[in-house]
């Protein structure tokens, strides 16, 4: 057995020597690349906290980086698209549809369309401007006495409750919901209300255009689809195409943006953001395995969550702060969160 063992030992030493010799012949850049790849794979099982989600995040990191770069550079393009598409619908409504309303509708219906349409337009423009230009809120950079729940490794600052780091803005955001490319801005503590109100009123405006322009769309589509068309003028053809464009655009936005608005309305009712929805779901599942029930510490109750979100402190605020343009600041400073409203109604309806 000893000769066999000696042979195996010599064979192993020979293989190690060959491997070391081939490694020395590798270029320095290639050796560094191999070492870096080994380090990446070792980092995947760095400690016992590593799970499938951590591994997946590491694998998809190049995808996340690409999305962040594209979103950062094309932010102004998305804003331009919102302004251009909205302006085109408003132009068609005033130039093509308003003269038709003045000629065919009764005085009551005419006043209703003019008042409702202009009110919706003012609310859309106001809230979009405020959502894009209002900073979402940032944690303090200097040392302070504000309580924090974690530490941001990228900003190297303490993170208060509900704060998260935005890879596109390269900073932490107070009560971060998400980074919206259509705003070219993060949705956080100070502009969350503006974002939701913009989505809500834009959805209502698109539904209004889609419903009120349905008959005009059918007539315009049939006039273009007919084989033997009557001698329409250039102005008539442009009118028909404009009506079809407006109806298709507003109907599509009504469905897509309406779904997003309903989702955010559900989150507001629960007192959580888009990021917290994912975190709370994981925490609820973890506690459910232990036979416990998770309760969101930032939920004040369904009605109170809406009051806190819109800043409603008395009955008149439902009109002045919800149905009319208002630039009031949100409840709290985004750094600390009181939970006393959980046990009592904080404001009269």
Give catalytic residue positions: 180
Q: Which residues pair with 179 in a beta bridge?
A: 186
Render the burial of 135-165: b for 16+ CB within 10 Å, e for the rest: ebbbbeeeeeeeeeeeebeebebbbbbbbbb
294 vs 297: CA distance, rounded Å? 9
330 vs 349: CA distance, rounded Å? 18
**Stretch (H or E) spanning 151:** strand 150-152
Could you identify the residue written with the tokens 């994981």? 282
The answer to whether the beta carbons of residues 311 and 193 sit under 8 Å apart is yes
Structure token pair of residue 42: 């070792």
Q: Report phi then psi at 318, rounded to 5.
A: -60, -30
154 SS3 class: coil
Residue of 296, 114, 90 whose CA lies nearest to 304: 296
The answer to whether the beta carbons of residues 249 and 226 sit under 8 Å apart is no
């Amino acid at each position: 057995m000893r000769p066999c063992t000696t042979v195996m030992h010599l064979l192993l030493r020979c293989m190690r020597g060959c491997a070391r010799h081939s490694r020395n012949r590798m270029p320095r850049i290639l050796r560094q690349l191999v070492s870096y790849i080994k380090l990446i794979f070792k980092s995947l099982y760095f400690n016992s906290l590593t799970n499938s989600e951590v591994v997946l995040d590491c694998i998809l990191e190049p995808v996340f980086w690409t999305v962040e770069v594209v979103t950062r550079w094309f932010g102004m393009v998305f804003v331009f698209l919102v302004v251009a598409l909205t302006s085109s619908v408003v132009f068609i409504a005033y130039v093509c549809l308003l003269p038709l309303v003045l000629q065919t509708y009764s005085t009551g219906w005419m006043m209703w369309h003019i008042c409702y349409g202009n009110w919706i337009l003012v609310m859309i423009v106001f809230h979009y401007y405020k959502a894009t230009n209002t900073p979402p809120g940032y944690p303090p950079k200097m040392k302070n006495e504000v309580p924090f729940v974690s530490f941001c490794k990228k900003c190297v600052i303490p993170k208060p409750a509900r704060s998260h780091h935005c890879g596109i803005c390269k900073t932490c955001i107070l009560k971060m919901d998400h980074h919206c490319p259509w705003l070219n801005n993060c949705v956080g503590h100070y502009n969350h209300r503006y974002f939701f109100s913009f989505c809500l009123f834009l959805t209502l405006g698109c539904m209004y255009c889609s419903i009120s322009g349905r008959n005009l769309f059918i007539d315009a589509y049939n006039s273009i689809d007919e084989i033997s068309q009557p001698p329409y003028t250039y102005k008539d053809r442009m009118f028909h195409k404009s009506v079809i464009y407006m109806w298709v655009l507003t109907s599509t936005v009504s469905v897509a943006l309406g779904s997003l608005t309903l989702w955010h309305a559900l989150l507001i009712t629960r007192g959580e953001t888009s990021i917290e929805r994912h975190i709370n779901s994981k925490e609820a599942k973890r506690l459910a395995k232990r036979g416990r029930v998770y309760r969101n510490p930032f939920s004040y109750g369904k009605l109170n969550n809406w009051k806190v979100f819109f800043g409603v402190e008395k009955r008149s605020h439902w009109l002045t702060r919800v149905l009319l343009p208002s630039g009031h600041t949100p409840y709290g400073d985004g750094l600390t969160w009181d939970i006393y409203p959980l046990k009592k109604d904080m404001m009269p309806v």
